Chain A
């Protein structure tokens, strides 16, 4: 259900961007969605297809790239991939996860427009 709201937020953000200047038709939207967010890409894709019908985004395609959760352990001086849902502390030394390097992204990376 929250993907519906996320999609609403995404559409609002895109509308702000699109209306700020005289932009061409949006063909493709590239999103980066981290694994350590509350967004499920399949649900987001579905909600986007439904909610953009009949809008300026009707023909736009949503391309979602997922990024893994990567943390950096300052004790071990190395990166590790926490097991989401199971363990976040460093598997080697048990230090808490306090420096997330990837996985929290929720961003529009790139927009492709059709130039007539």
Chain B
């Protein structure tokens, strides 16, 4: 005989991850830290953007970085040069950060530093356009990157990342003149599923658009922390 439990009805498949994300967010809120989850396909320019961001903002904000990487600490080492705490999380074969891994990172931050001193936590997720969007880590906003070399159709093919993003950076704009890339079409494709995302074309190489990005970061890194 079978007994049916509808008690479980509606439990999200990612319940355990979601609960962990909310726990992380509660800690971050208590410390007054704004957390940005930075996501893109491999090589779209997350680390390059973070380097520029740290160079520009360490004077105004206390910043920490959580760096998710499948195997190496190469990206973490690049960012340590900016004199901020960089907590490397080796994700192993997992293709995204989850809330448990980030919780481990937060505990390290708590042990080794005084977390209440920090204003901003930048989380570089594993390069992957598919699943990081489904696994919240406790962030206050999701930042997606799409480089101009990836093609205008990527928002249509990997819609969830673009639908969930609060801010989208179209990166490597300095390369656009060498490609048959149609910026307007990228934006139109994103707008089909996300009418509110802030879209900023940037180049980490030339600095184009970086002020707009930095202003956005400043605007969400208010004492209240949460973007409107």
Interface, chain A (partner B; CB < 8 A): 1-2, 4-6, 9-10, 12-13, 16-17, 23-24, 27-28, 31, 33, 36-39, 84-89, 96-98, 106-115
Contact B5 A111 (CB under 8 A): yes
Residue B27 interfacial (CB < 8 Å): no
Residues on B with beta carbons closer than 8 Å to the beta carbon of A98: 195
Residues on B with beta carbons closer than 8 Å to the beta carbon of A6: 13-14, 131, 134
Chain B 100-141 per-residue mask, 1 if CB under 8 angstroms from chain A, else 0? 000000000000000000000000000010110111000000
Contact A85 B157 (CB under 8 A): yes
Q: Total interface residues on B, using CB and 8 Å?
A: 36
Residues on B with beta carbons closer than 8 Å to the beta carbon of A27: 2
Other than the given A107-B12, A113-B2, 11 more pairs (CB < 8 A) read A13-B12, A13-B14, A13-B16, A36-B160, A39-B13, A96-B193, A107-B11, A108-B11, A112-B2, A112-B3, A112-B4
* CB pairs A–B below 8 angstroms (27 shown): A5-B95, A5-B98, A6-B13, A9-B16, A16-B16, A17-B11, A27-B2, A88-B156, A88-B192, A88-B193, A96-B191, A96-B193, A96-B194, A97-B192, A106-B12, A106-B13, A106-B14, A106-B134, A108-B9, A109-B9, A109-B10, A110-B8, A112-B5, A113-B2, A114-B1, A114-B3, A115-B2
**Distance, CA A106 to CA B135, complexed state (A):** 12
Residues on A with beta carbons closer than 8 Å to the beta carbon of B11: 13, 17, 107-108
Partner of B192 from the list A13, A31, A89, A115 (CB cut-off 8 Å) is A89
Closest to B155 in A: A88
Interface, chain B (partner A; CB < 8 A): 1-6, 8-17, 93-96, 98, 128, 130-131, 133-135, 156-157, 159-160, 191-195
**Distance, CA A4 to CA B91, complexed state (A):** 13
Partner of B133 from the list A4, A38, A114 (CB cut-off 8 Å) is A38
Q: How far is the CB of B17 from chain A (nearest CB, A)?
A: 5
